[in-house]
């Protein structure tokens, strides 16, 4: 497959590059990223998604693109509601995997001397690791309420503050969720996992705001240079994985009945208005709401851990939520196509919403700036906070990248980490780590990821987001 | 990078890592052994085989529309049991037909104080999924989400 250059950071995958494409693909990347993108098979996944019924505009990929399954990581697929489809493979297994950012006014110089004690407290407070069970064991009735109310359930149950809700994408709960369309298997898997981090690339990270680029916006969001923030990355755990599994099976069975020819069975889909499409959308919303409640509970325990290390200096109100974004989700959103507003089914898989200033979906207090776009890097370099833009709204269905994007497989990372102490290397950089397993640290080492600075450069230079702040990791909890 | 290859009593298993996930290529003499080897392979991704003091037995009876769907269904069930009951299986007595897998599986409870978890497997994908039969035996390719 060949890409046509359409700008310094924009590359078009023309229709006809692959059989069945209904719309072109568009990749945001710099020249140095292109060889690996061409090599890893992710362009074929863009092309496959571009062949789904009702695909509109272009299938997009952000600079953190890499090979996944179905839609590639970093991919955005928008389908018309009228004749388009909804696809669980366009969202992924970890429904509403996302990140949130808590701000503090604690200077990093005050936190660094006690970082080990703080991390020990966080590690005790937040269950992490494969199969980790939480502090909460929900009844069937409670878990259904979580799936209806999302972050609001957690706040109502004593895990957080009302103001947290205002600062979550979709206010921490998508409306019209349908827990009744969730299987017993999914409920079983979720029952003991609310308030757990999980494993792999999920984390809680204590950071220092190293640089503020946009003082006004940073101030509006409570971000002050030299102060500490906490970033939380997790999703809907086994409940979300099971929802995706269940509906892939259903949609693989019905796709042919709707005349849909699948280029990849992982892209199994059904028309947006079909019974199967509507059921998946309702179940996906329920899983997304579970994820918002999950991050909300973890936030509460993070605040408690901070308060116990800094008694008398800090209350939970002193750790406000800057924002919470989803990066594996499908939503109905209004976008302008050919000059007319149209409601679309927007799939984001490893991509973050990045709406511009003035958009109705932004918290009232944030409307003069764009949406906070939280982009974690790897645990040795930096993470960034950006603001969404009009460019993103017009050209990327209001979307930005979701992270650095993996460069190495986990196996390759393990090989490269052999005979090295990644913990010590990170310590030399001023980053402390607590993890359930040594293997996780190697798999998630900085070398396993693309250079976050280069990814952010593409996003900002192409106009998708504007820089607000850069955060450096001080300590990380991994699963 | 060299693929990791291992052999179990049911067949040959090759692990192929992708950027974010991992795939297994499995070879066996019969479909029943192919499914047993796939189940063994999933457990091998999760943990190193160990000798456990107490074994656990479960009966399975699953059905699906076709053989590929059945393989996804089978491995998803094993993953569900691991997630919910923390049980992992290395012995399989299966009878597999085009649309059904029936049999008995033996394993043990995962004990994190004695056993190290190798890989966190989130889900079984349909991406590049294949099950093929020939006169020389059976082959499958399956990608796991990590």
* Complex ipTM value: 0.93
The whole-angstrom distance between B93's CA and the closest CA on chain A is 24
Sign of CA dihedral B114, B119, B121, B126: negative
pLDDT digits (tens, 9 = 90+) for A142-181: 999 999 999 999 999 999 999 999 999 999 999 999 999 9
**Nearest residue to B42 via CA among B2, B72, B3:** B72
The pLDDT, as a whole number, for residue A131 is: 60
Q: CB-CB: which of B17, B73, B84 is closest to A410?
A: B17
Chain A residues whose CB is inside 8 A of the B144 CB are: none
Domain that holds residue A132: 4-478
Q: What is the CATH number of the domain that holds B82?
A: 3.55.10.10
pLDDT classification of B118: cutoffs 50, 70, 90: confident
Give the three-class secondary structure for A333: strand
Number of Cβ pairs closer than 8 Å across A and B?
113
Is A80 near chain B, with CB under 8 Å?
A: no
For chain A, the domain total comes to 1
Residues of A with catalytic roles: 402
User: Given this model, what pLDDT does residue A199 score?
Assistant: 85
Q: Could you read off the pLDDT of A12-28 as tens digits, one per residue? A: 999 999 999 999 999 99
- Quote the minimal CA–CA distance from A237 to chain B in Å: 8
Q: For testing the chain B interface, which of A185, A243, A265 should be mutated: the one with the most B CBs within 10 Å?
A: A265
- How many structural domains does chain B have? 1
Could you give the 3-state DSSP secondary structure of residue A359?
coil
Q: What is the mean pLDDT of residues A423-430?
A: 95
How near does any CA of chain B get to the CA of A180, in Å?
20
- pLDDT at residue B117 in the model: 84
Residues 133-162 of A with CB under 8 A from B: none
Residue pointed to by tokens 């049911």:
B10
| Dist CA A108 CA A137 (whole Å) | 36
**Whose CA is closest to A95, among A403, A346, A349, A332?**
A349
> Does the pLDDT value for residue A254 go beyond 80?
yes
Spatial separation of the C-alpha atoms in residues A266 and A256, rounded to whole Å: 14
CATH number at residue A442: 3.90.1860.10
Q: Per-residue pLDDT averaged across A209-222, rounded?
A: 98
HSE toward the beta carbon, residue B87, CA cutoff 13 A: 18
Q: How far is B46 from chain A (nearest CA, A)?
A: 10
Indicate which of A243, A411, A441 best probes the interface with B, i.e. most B CBs within 10 Å of its own CB: A411
- DSSP-based three-state secondary structure for B40: helix
Please name the member of B112, B123, B143 whose beta carbon is closest to the beta carbon of A241: B123
Closest CA to A79 of A257, A331, A278, A274: A331
* Local structure of residue A72 (DSSP, 8 states): P
Answer yes or no: do B146 and A200 touch at CB < 8 A: yes
Q: In B, residues 67-96, which contact A (CB 8 Å cutoff)?
A: 68-69, 72-73, 76, 80, 82-84, 86
- A131-140 pLDDT, tens digit per residue, is 666 788 899 9
Q: Domain range spanning residue B102?
A: 4-145
Name the nearest CA neighbour of A18 among A39, A46, A40. A46
Collapsing DSSP to helix, strand or coil, A279 comes out as helix
Supply the pLDDT for residue B1: 58
Task: Look at residue B144 and tell me whether its pLDDT is greater than 80.
Answer: yes
CA–CA distance, A245 with A247 (Å, rounded to integer) = 6
């Amino acid at each position: 497959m060949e890409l046509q250059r359409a700008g310094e950071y924009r590359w078009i995958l023309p229709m006809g590059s692959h059989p069945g494409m209904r719309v072109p693909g568009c990749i945001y990347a710099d020249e140095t990223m292109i060889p690996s993108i061409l090599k890893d098979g992710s362009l074929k996944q863009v092309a496959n998604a571009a062949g789904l019924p009702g695909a509109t505009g272009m299938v997009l990929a952000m600079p953190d693109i890499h090979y996944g399954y179905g839609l590639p990581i970093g991919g955005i697929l928008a389908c018309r509601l009228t004749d388009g489809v909804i696809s669980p493979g366009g969202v992924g297994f970890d429904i509403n995997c996302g990140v949130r950012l808590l701000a503090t006014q604690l200077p990093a110089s005050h936190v660094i001397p006690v970082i080990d004690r703080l991390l020990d407290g966080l590690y005790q407070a937040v269950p992490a690791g494969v199969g980790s069970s939480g502090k909460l064991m929900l009844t069937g009735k409670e878990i259904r309420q979580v799936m209806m109310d999302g972050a609001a359930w957690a706040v109502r149950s004593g895990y957080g503050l009302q103001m947290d809700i205002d600062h979550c994408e979709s206010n921490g709960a998508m409306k019209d969720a349908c827990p009744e369309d969730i299987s017993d298997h999914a409920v079983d898997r979720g029952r003991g996992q609310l308030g757990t981090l999980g494993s792999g690339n999920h984390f809680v990270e204590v950071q220092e705001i190293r640089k503020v680029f946009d003082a006004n916006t940073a101030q509006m969001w409570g971000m002050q240079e030299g102060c500490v923030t906490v970033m939380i990355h997790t999703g809907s755990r086994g409940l979300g994985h099971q929802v995706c599994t269940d509906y892939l099976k259903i949609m693989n069975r019905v796709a042919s009945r709707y005349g849909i020819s699948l280029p990849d069975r992982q892209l199994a889909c059904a028309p947006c208005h079909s019974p199967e499409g509507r059921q998946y959308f309702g179940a996906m919303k329920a899983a997304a709401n579970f994820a918002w409640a999950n991050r909300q509970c973890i936030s509460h325990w993070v605040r408690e851990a901070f308060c116990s290390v800094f008694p008398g200096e800090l209350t939970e109100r002193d750790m406000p939520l800057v924002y919470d974004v989803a990066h594996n989700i499908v939503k109905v959103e209004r976008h302008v196509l050919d000059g007319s507003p149209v409601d679309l089914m927007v799939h984001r898989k490893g991509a973050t919403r990045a709406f511009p200033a003035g958009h109705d979906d932004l918290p009232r207090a944030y409307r003069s700036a764009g949406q906070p776009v939280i982009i974690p890097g790897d645990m040795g370099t930096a993470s960034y906070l950006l603001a969404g833009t009009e460019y993103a709204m017009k050209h990327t269905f209001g979307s930005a990248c979701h992270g650095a994007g993996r460069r190495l497989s986990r196996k390759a990372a393990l090989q490269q980490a052999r005979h090295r102490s990644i913990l010590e290397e990170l310590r030399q950089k001023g980053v402390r780590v607590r993890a359930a397993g040594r293997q996780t640290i190697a798999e998630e080492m900085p070398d396993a990821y693309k250079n976050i600075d280069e990814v952010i450069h593409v996003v900002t230079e192409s106009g998708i987001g504007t820089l607000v702040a850069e955060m450096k990791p001080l300590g990380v909890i991994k699963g | 990078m060299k693929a990791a290859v291992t052999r179990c009593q049911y067949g040959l298993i090759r692990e192929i890592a992708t950027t974010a996930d991992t795939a297994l290529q499995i070879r066996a003499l019969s479909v029943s052994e192919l499914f047993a080897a796939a189940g063994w392979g999933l457990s091998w991704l999760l943990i190193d085989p160990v000798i456990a003091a107490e074994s656990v037995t479960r009966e399975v009876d699953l059905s699906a529309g076709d053989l590929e769907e059945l393989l996804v269904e089978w491995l998803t069930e094993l993953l569900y049991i691991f997630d919910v009951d923390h049980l992992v299986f290395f012995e399989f007595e299966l009878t597999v037909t085009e649309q059904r897998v029936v049999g008995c599986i033996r394993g043990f409870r995962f004990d994190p104080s004695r056993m190290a978890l190798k890989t966190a497997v989130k889900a079984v994908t349909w991406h590049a999924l294949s099950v093929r039969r020939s006169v020389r035996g059976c082959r499958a390719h399956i990608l796991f989400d990590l």
